Structure formats: C-alpha cells, structure tokens
Structure 1
Amino acid sequence: MHHKEVHALSATPELTSGERKPMLNTISPAMLLEEFSLEMTGKDVPGLEEAADLIPPSTRINVTFLGNENLETRLATSRAVHERGFTPVPHISARRLASRGQLEEFLGALRDQGTSSEVFVVGGDPHTPEGPYEDSLQVIQTGLLQAYGVHQVGIGGYPEGHPDISDAQLWSALTGKAAALREQGLEGTIITQFGFDLAPVFSWIERVRDLGIDLPIRIGVPGPAGIKRLLTFAARFGISSSAGIAKKYGFSLTNLLGTAGPDKFITQLTDGYDADRYGDLKLHFYTFGGLRATSEWITSFSEDQK
C-alpha cells in the first residue's frame, strides 16, 4: 500500500524555478480536503462498493501493485474504480517488472480498458530487481508511459526519509524524476509517505520548492484506524511516533486500544499553510481502517468545517 522505493543514485542538477501562479496565502481545512485522493488494494473492492456513495465523483483512487496479486487482479481493481465513476491511478512497481514486455503488457491492458490516463510509479520492495528496472526513474525514461496513454504520473516523496535509502539518494531521485517528467511532457504529482509529525513535512516541502520543483504535492495522511495498526505501519516505514508526536497527533502510546483520526494533523497543516512557501497542496489518504471508515470520516470532518 505504501511506496517503499529504491531511487536513482546519480547526481541530478537543481531545476530552474519557474513562475508560480498567485495563490491565497491561507487555506481552510475544507479547502484542503477538496479533491482528496485515496488508496486501495485488490482485496478492497468490496470496501469500495460500501464506500462509493460517500466518495465524490472522479476522486483519484490509487491502486497498489502488490507482489501477491496477478495482472488480472490489478486490472480488475482499476476497472472497478473506473466503473464506479472514480479515477483509477494504478501503481507500477519498477523492481517487480520482469521485463520491458511485462511493462508493455500491463500498460496495454490498462489502455484497452480505459484506465491508463494516470499512474503512480514506485521503485518497489524487492532488494534485487526482478527485471531491467532499478527504480521508477528508469520506467519514466522508457517513454512507454505516454505511448500507452498516460498523461499524469505520480511519484513518491519521503518527508521523514526512508529506512533503506540515504537522504542524498532520495533528493537526487526526486529531482531526477521531476526533470524527466518535464522533459517528456508528462504532468506530475508528488505523493508523500504518511506521518504523524508536521515539522518534517513543512521542512521537506520547503526544500522541494527551493529546488525549483513546483509539482503539486499530496500530503500522505492515515485515515482513521486502530492505534496499534497505525504504529505497526509507522514502524515498518520508519515513521516517527514518539510519545510527544503521538500526543500532538491525537493519541497516546499508553492507550493503544482506541482509534485515531487525522483531525489535529489536518487542522495544524492548514494553520501553518503559506501558499508562497508551500505551493499547491492536497491530501492523500492511506485507508488503514478501510475505505468506508475513511470516507465517513472525511464527510463528517468536512461537514464540521462548514
């Protein structure tokens, strides 16, 4: 469900900063929630059925590329998202692709069922690539994405770093991918790993903008879920969850039986937002507690802001 990734290692020059569109310097929680995106796996299709009435039409829903799912499962999940009036964003896991032919097979099948317009390209979990692609940058550079109808490409961002990749490598990869998307005429979006602490998120966004990368950024947010479950995923992906951070987020490490939602996180994000410094921000929800629970929370929180 998450984008652990081994990125390009070569040094990449900083991008030239372009003119940004003038924006208001403040934003409300309701405005931040506009055009949110969600994430699901193949096994979540029944949950999508249950949540469909709560999700706005055309909402982007990322479809993960799990190693234990086959081509048909991935295609069927993207098709289910499309048939219910939402925008599927299938993941492509570079290191899980056995060959260029397998990449073309997946892209061709997505195109044939009308679900290839947007994709999210990630390096993937395997330590050793199963084929010719070391990272997502190499997939972008093939030129195959646009050849099969892709217009927008999502790439990963790591405000708290990555447990297996150095910060220098992460920044080199991010600038390299942003440059490659621009060179190939593809629209791009950065989707960040989730977290509980806003301080590294704001610092990371400032660095992204200082590098001249003006792609829209979707801040990864965990939907409401059991605290134990949240902490399990946090440990797996190297996310800080100290007692102080947990309290600031809205849960306690001494009481793990309840659930926690991102109410405080989103409110603090809007309070600290400055368009001149941070640019275009939206939210991406990791649905740890299920699509229905996340969608119900978004609906209720949005109503409370009116």
Structure 2
Amino acid sequence: MAWLNFADKSGAETPEPLLSDMIDGWSIEVMPRTSAKIDNFRAILPQGTRVYIAHIDGTPIEDMVATAGRLHAEGFAVMPHIPARSISSRHVLEDWLKRYQGEADVKQALLLGGGVTTPAGEFDSSIQMIETGLFDKMGFTRLHIAGHPEGNKDIDRDGSNRLVDQALLWKQDFSTRTDAKMAIATQFAFDAKSVTAWADRIQAAGVTIPIHVGIAGPTKLQTLIKFAISCGVGPSLKVLQKRAMDLSKLLVPYEPTEVVAGLSEHKAANPHSLIEQLHVFPLGGINAATEWMRKHGSIEAMAAVA
C-alpha cells in the first residue's frame, strides 16, 4: 500500500493512506440517455472498467440491451440493473437475460428490488428473482446485490434494519451455493463513518460478501442534496446540510474527497474489512466523475486509460 507522510501537531510525521488506495479498480454507473452523450468511453475510462447500466422504470429493454452491446464492443465489463418490481413475469426475466447474453454478451448483473412502489408482476424482491434459478442456469459469472449502509425505509419503515439484515443473510447463504462471484454495491453516501460502521456490523453478523461502496461524483451541492433526499440517505444528508451552512463551501462543487479519505483510512487500519472498492454515481456528469477519479487515482490506473 502506498503512503504519504503528513506532519502532526507535534511535528512528527504520520503516515496517511493515499486516496488512490481506494480509487484503483472503481466502477461507474450510466443510463442509456447519459451514455449516448459520450462519443467514446475508451477515451475516459480505464480499460476493462465495470460499467453498471441503471434501469429506470419505463426504459425500453431495447435501449438497455443496445447500451450494453455498445459498452461491451468498446471493451468494458457490462453490468445491467435487473429491477425485480419492473419485471412482469418469469418469462420476461428469462427473455431479458437471453437478450443481454445473445446481443451484448452480458454475464454480470446487479439484482435489486427497484424503486417502483407497486410491482409490475410476480417479483417483489431480488430474492424472488434469485430463487428462479435463471441466473445460475444461464451461466452468469458475477451477481451483485444492493447494500444499504443507512437503512432502507422502503423495506424497514420503522428504521430497525431487521428485514434488510434478514435478506442480506439469505443472500450470504446463497453466495455459498452459487458459482457466480458476488459483491454488495451500496447506495451513495457522504459519511464514511456510517458506511464503515455498517460494514463492521454485517461482517460481525457473518456476512463475507465484498462491499463496493457507492460515492457521488463531483456536482453542485444543491443537486446532491436533491438526490440525497430522494434516495433517503440519513446521516449522509446531515453531512451535506452542514456543508450547505458553510458559505465558503456553498458555491464550491462537491467532491468525494473526504468520504474516500475516510474509507481509505478504515481500509488501511482494517485490512480484512469487507470494503473492497468504490462504485461511482456520476450525479454531476460522467465526464466530471471520470476526470476526478483519474486525477486522484494511481499512475497505473491512469496509464490504463485506452
């Protein structure tokens, strides 16, 4: 691990982990409409970067598959969202998976319940999709699941995290029965301590699935607060509200420096932590996010950009 030395108050040098210790190997999330604005992803992403494709309810599957095919052709590992509540039947799920595989050579997927209140059909959760056996049957090599460091009020309305934890332990058990590699991709957060405390808690409960922590790319503070409110992040929202009260920071675009530094410090102090890498939500634009990651990544990561 690479280190920088900073003088503490006594004048002694204290090692601090580089941001690049956490940044190397990051993934990013796009949508069909945002990816259409990028002429060539190879010009801005390190070779082989995993690219998630967010499936917003109402997006035609044709647009999702076409985006997946384009990214695959440009040399990236493609991971589309499979939102349970937007899928009307097992037949539709199977059709989606066949199209992703046949037309875009997709072998990875993020399984999640989805943000729809009323399910379109028989699926209400990612567990129900997993139970169909279709992902193993069709040879998916990597399956990611959603993680909620600050809880999920759509599931546990009382804030107890009881049902969320039960579902995660079920998926932990499934991870021992599937040939696919698994990871937990989390909602974006702005408070490293809430993420690391959650990671420690689920690890103590028996979870061994690696965690890919969601962070927001650079954007206007007002935009970030809007997304934070709509996504229901708790302690993280308080961090943003405190920042908004500081007039010196109000007009300066948010950058994920503090949260990444906190995660890097935790990883350095806890080498067996489940926290494995970062997943970027480019809320201020794909170019702004990738530029920040390249700027703060290692020389090796920057050199990998095609």
State the TM bucket, normalised to the shorter chain.
0.7 to 0.9
Which residue in 2 is equivalent to 1:135? 125
Q: Structure 1 counterpart of 2:30, which letter?
A: M
Which residue in 1 is equivalent to 2:286? 291
Q: Matches of 1:65 and 1:206 in 2, distance apart?
A: 30
Is 2:189 the counterpart of 1:195?
yes
Note if contact 1:154-1:190 (Cα within 8 Å) is conserved in structure 2. Answer: yes
Higher RCO (Cα < 8 Å, 6 or more apart):
1
Distance 1:241 1:213, change over 3 A: closer
Note if contact 1:141-1:180 (Cα within 8 Å) is conserved in structure 2. Answer: no
Q: Structure 1 counterpart of 2:227, which letter?
A: F
Is 2:206 the counterpart of 1:216?
no
Distance 1:146 1:116, change over 3 A: farther
Q: Matches of 2:17 and 2:274 in 1, distance apart?
A: 11
Please state how far the C-alpha of 1:78 moved relative to its aligned partner.
0.9
Is 2:168 the counterpart of 1:178?
no
Residues 39-65 of structure 1, C-alpha deviations (whole Å, 9 max, x = no match): 011101234435531211110010011
Note if contact 1:89-1:120 (Cα within 8 Å) is conserved in structure 2. Answer: yes
Note if contact 2:212-2:277 (Cα within 8 Å) is conserved in structure 1. Answer: yes
Note if contact 1:116-1:149 (Cα within 8 Å) is conserved in structure 2. Answer: no
Q: Matches of 2:48 and 2:272 in 1, distance apart?
A: 29
Is 2:249 the counterpart of 1:278?
no
Q: Matches of 1:110 and 1:168 in 2, distance apart?
A: 34
Quote the sequence identity (%): 27
5+ long unaligned stretches in structure 1: 1-25
Stretch moving more, 132-141 or 181-190: 181-190
Distance 1:91 1:217, change over 3 A: same
Stretch moving more, 252-261 or 156-165: 252-261
Matches within 5 A, 1:9-158: 28-49=18-39, 51-158=41-148
Larger Rg: 2
Please state how far the C-alpha of 1:149 moved relative to its aligned partner.
2.7
5+ long unaligned stretches in structure 2: 1-15
Q: Matches of 2:278 and 2:99 in 1, distance apart?
A: 29
Q: Structure 1 counterpart of 2:113, which letter?
A: G
Which residue in 1 is equivalent to 2:3? none
Distance 1:303 1:216, change over 3 A: closer
Please state how far the C-alpha of 1:103 moved relative to its aligned partner.
0.4
Residues 268-304 of structure 1, C-alpha deviations (whole Å, 9 max, x = no match): 2212223345134200000101111101111112269
The root-mean-square deviation of aligned C-alpha atoms, in Å, is 2.3
Which residue in 2 is equivalent to 1:13? none
Q: Matches of 2:27 and 2:135 in 1, distance apart?
A: 21
Which residue in 1 is equivalent to 2:261? 267
- Give the secondary structure class of the aligned counterpart of 1:125: coil
TM-score of the superposition, structure 2-length normalised? 0.84
Q: Matches of 1:126 and 1:243 in 2, distance apart?
A: 23
Q: Matches of 1:47 and 1:36 in 2, distance apart?
A: 21
Q: Matches of 1:258 and 1:236 in 2, distance apart?
A: 22
Q: Matches of 2:234 and 2:115 in 1, distance apart?
A: 21
Distance 1:65 1:101, change over 3 A: same
Which residue in 2 is equivalent to 1:11? none
TM-score of the superposition, structure 1-length normalised? 0.84
Is 2:225 the counterpart of 1:227?
no
- Give the secondary structure class of the aligned counterpart of 1:278: coil
Is 2:244 the counterpart of 1:252?
yes
Residue-pair matches, total: 279
- Give the secondary structure class of the aligned counterpart of 1:285: strand
